[in-house]
Chain A
């Protein structure tokens, strides 16, 4: 076996896996807050990536430039400061959009009746996609680079700065998320609401605010994932379709209510895609994998759920009376 090739595939797998992990973590956050799968998560993230683009590339406003740094018509010459400040603004902006969506479209409905809410998130998927297409059209666009161009050579395999950057940024994001949820009062309230809404209300938690907080975090994290993936996939309204499916598989593998599980699930899916597809496609019986790499992720998900219906780290609810 060619170790350089294997290493190369592992690097690629971890980087794409980290992006699936980000979207999977966003899905899990909303699942923990509201016990529903937000099928619009990918589209909300895509919209956030477009907001980043709008700030970084499409605006040249004297006031904004104070924060963003100078505008530049050539995408390749846009400063890292400008793209990153734009990304942070977009994370906040998409978080605020998510708060409004939760308040106006999700909360009015009975949370125990899942079907209407799921249909609403599917509707949101279509609406956000159409709105993005209306504003920015459906042509793929180049997204400014987020990390310096260049690479390290590790045993002959190319480790791009971009790959290292993606992994570092998402590891930091995950660490920050654990600190927010584990150490802050709002984080404690969030965990309480996701464990037992009624009791949370009975200790004086304003559950509505906590739900808004969860949606804000999820949307901001999803946007970060989309911004990181945009330079690879090209910025376009359909960019997150497949990513969402991989992220759903990742969240199911990790356990829908486990943030760490979702992150690990993302890496499993990323590595499966990258490593297994490469090697299986050379085996005659698995030739079909090359045509439909998605199938491996689905098989990985089904295999996990077959043995562990609540995923690797999901909670099996046991009520003691």
Chain B
């Protein structure tokens, strides 16, 4: 981690910003998806990025993890991680729950959690697994069952638990509500709020489901065609007529 320390010395003081992205451009081949996107996630808070399909939400998260061709600055806890190897970025404390859960369907529930701790070298991994099993008994009951046999909501819980197994500084959640029943989505967001409050985990959530996401967030951004068109305190966004019309169905 010496590189991280050197970089943190030379970069500007970050105050309480855990993750800061500036001037992020990303493209798939000739198609530009992000145009100079900037956003900040304060330490210990939940920030939400709202946007329609194709606005660039998923690409934003993929760019932070360097899984797409991109340029710009990505500062994690004072260290520039832009264009680092994905494995190094994970190692430095970014956990990413991709769209569609991204569990390992053939692996057992327990192995999913174990592999989530892949970057860790301490000996508390099993304690953490037990903690998640206690917290979400359904995972504990099915610890030896293949993850692919869980329901969509259970898989999402598994995906989040797995991501937290790396004890990340920031958790990236890519449309966690996708394809889940409304009642399960509500549970899920309550869980996110609980994790945020109890563990102090910083979260960056991209969502189409604006209402629930803004409920648990302190701050929100609205993404359109690869650019931030609106940002503000979450409660203000909830009351913003333009946001209401576009994302809250009012």
Within 8 A of A (CB), among B168-210: 178-179
Docked-complex contact A203 and B90, CB < 8 angstroms = yes
- Given A191-B107, A321-B179, A201-B102 contact (CB < 8 Å): no
Q: A196 contacts which chain B residues (CB < 8 A)?
A: 102-105
Given A201-B67, A203-B119, A204-B119, is A188 in contact with B114 using a C-beta cutoff of 8 Å? yes
**Residues in B whose Cβ lies below 8 Å from that of A317:** 105
Interface residues of B in 61-112 (CB under 8 A from A): 65, 67, 85-87, 90-91, 95-96, 98, 100, 102-107, 111
Q: List residues of chain B with CB within 8 A of the CB of A195.
A: 104-107
A59 at interface by CB-CB < 8 Å: no
Q: How far is the CB of A57 from chain B (nearest CB, A)?
A: 43
Q: Total contacts A to B, CB within 8 angstroms? A: 79
- Give the distance in Å from the alpha carbon of A194 to the alpha carbon of B105 in the complex: 10
Q: Is B148 at the interface (CB under 8 A from chain A)?
A: yes
Chain B residue with the shortest CB-CB distance to A32 = B106
User: What are the residues of chain A within 8 A of B163 when measuring CB–CB?
Assistant: 203
How long is the Cα–Cα vector from A201 to B111 in the complex, in angstroms? 16
- Complex contact B104–A192 (CB within 8 A): yes
Interface contact A191-B87, CB-CB below 8 Å: no
Closest to B151 in A: A320
* Chain A window 310-321, contacts with chain B (Cβ cutoff 8 Å), 1 for yes, 0 for no: 000001011111
Interface size (B, Cβ < 8 Å)?
33
Are the CB atoms of B118 and A205 closer together than 8 Å? yes
Of chain A, the residue at the smallest CB distance from B65 is: A202
List A residues 168-211 near B (Cβ within 8 Å): 185, 188-189, 191-192, 194-196, 198-206
CB proximity of A199 to chain B, nearest CB, Å: 4
Residues of A within 8 A of B152 (CB): 320-321
B116 at the interface (CB under 8 A from A): yes
- Is the CB–CB distance between B106 and A203 below 8 Å? no
Task: Give which listed residue, A185, A189, A194, A202, contacts B86 with CB less than 8 A.
Answer: A202
Does B25 sit at the interface, judged by CB under 8 A?
no
A199–B148 touching, CB < 8 Å: no
User: Closest CB of chain A to B160's CB: distance in Å?
Assistant: 13
Partner pick for A205 among B67, B107, B115, B150, CB 8 A cutoff: B115
Would A203 and B115 count as touching, CB distance under 8 A? yes
Cα A320 to Cα B149 in complex, Å, equals 9
Q: How far is the CA of A315 from the CA of B104 in the complex (A)?
A: 13
CB contacts (< 8 Å) of A318 on chain B: these are 105, 148
The answer to whether B105 and A203 have CB atoms under 8 Å apart is no
Identify the 9 closest CB pairs spanning chains A and B, nearest first. A204-B90, A195-B104, A204-B119, A321-B179, A199-B102, A195-B106, A192-B115, A202-B96, A204-B87
Q: List 16 A-B contacts (CB under 8 A).
A: A188-B114, A188-B115, A189-B115, A189-B118, A192-B115, A195-B105, A195-B106, A196-B103, A199-B104, A201-B86, A201-B87, A202-B90, A202-B98, A203-B118, A206-B87, A321-B152
Chain B residues proximal to chain A, CB less than 8 Å: 65, 67, 85-87, 90-91, 95-96, 98, 100, 102-107, 111, 114-116, 118-119, 148, 150-152, 155, 162-163, 166, 178-179
Kindly list 6 other residue pairs between chains A and B, CB separation below 8 angstroms, not including A191-B107, A202-B90, A203-B163.
A191-B104, A195-B106, A196-B103, A205-B118, A320-B150, A321-B152
